Amino acid sequence: MYANLSIADFLTQSKHLSENPSPCDTIHVVLGNESCDLDSAVSAILYAYFLVCNGDMVVQDKSLLDARSNISNLTSAQLMIKDLKITKQGMPIVGLPILVQDFLHKTPKLKVTLDTFLEENNASFLVLMGQTISGDTIRRDLGLYSPNSDTQLDHVISILENNQSPKLDMREIEPEENHRIVRLFKLTNVQVSRKQVLPLIEKAFES
C-alpha cells in the first residue's frame, strides 16, 4: 500500500511494471466495461489506484456486490430507469440486468408500464436490451416496442438485421400471447453491446 502515492506516479509505475515485469511481482488486473466508455475506463483506473493506496479497506466478501446486483425489490418501472441511455433523437434504450423475456414475465401490466415509460420520456419507440451472465455463459436478448407505428418498427428491425459490422445475428423469439406487443429477439452474437446498438437506432431514425 502507498497511501501518499499520487495518481500520476501510480500511472507511471503501472506502465513501467507492465512493460518490465519481474518474476517476483504479483500483477492484479482491474477490468472495466468491455465497451471502454470514458467513464468506464476512468473508473477502472481509479479503482486500481484505490486498491494500491487503500488495500486494507477493500471489502473481502461479496456483500456490497450482491446488494448492488439485487433487483428483487425493484418494480419494472424502476428497472427501466436503472440503466438508461437516450439516443440523440430522444429514443430510450434500456439496459436490463435480466433477459427481456424474463422482464416481460415480471411485468403484469406490460402495455401500461411501457406506455407510461414512453410518455414520461416523451418518446414513441423503446429498445430493451437484456443480459444474464452465469459462469462463462452470456445470454443477451433485445426487445422493441412501437405502440403507434408498425412501419417504424419494421424499419428499425431491418436496420439492425442488415448491419454487418457488428453482425447482431438476431433470432426472433415468439413471446407469450399477452407479451406480443413487444418484438423479441435473441442476440446470438453475445459480444454485441448497447454501445454498438445505439448508433444503429439513431441511424434508423435519421433515414
Query: What SS3 string covers 119-165?
Result: HHCCCCCEEEEEEEEECCEEEEEEEEECCCCHHHHHHHHHHHHHCCC
Instruction: Using alpha carbons, select from 142, 150, 144, 143 the residue that is nearest to residue 168.
Output: 142
The CA–CA distances, whole Å, from 15 to 59, 81, 128, 151 equal: 26, 38, 39, 52
Contact by Cβ (8 Å): 90, 123: yes
pLDDT one-digit tens code per residue, 153-163: 999 999 999 99
Q: Are 84 and 93 in contact (CB under 8 A)?
A: yes
pLDDT at 12 exceeding the cut of 60: yes
Domain ranges of the chain: 7-58, 71-205
Check residues 63 and 127 and name the one with the higher pLDDT.
Answer: 127
pLDDT value of position 2: 62
- Residues 50, 54, 56, 59, Cα dihedral to 10°: -30
Pick the CATH number of 71-205 from 1.10.287.3510, 3.40.50.300, 3.10.20.740, 3.10.310.20: 3.10.310.20
Q: What number is the average pLDDT over the span 97-124?
A: 95
| pLDDT > 70? residue 66 | no
What is the average pLDDT across 99-120? 95
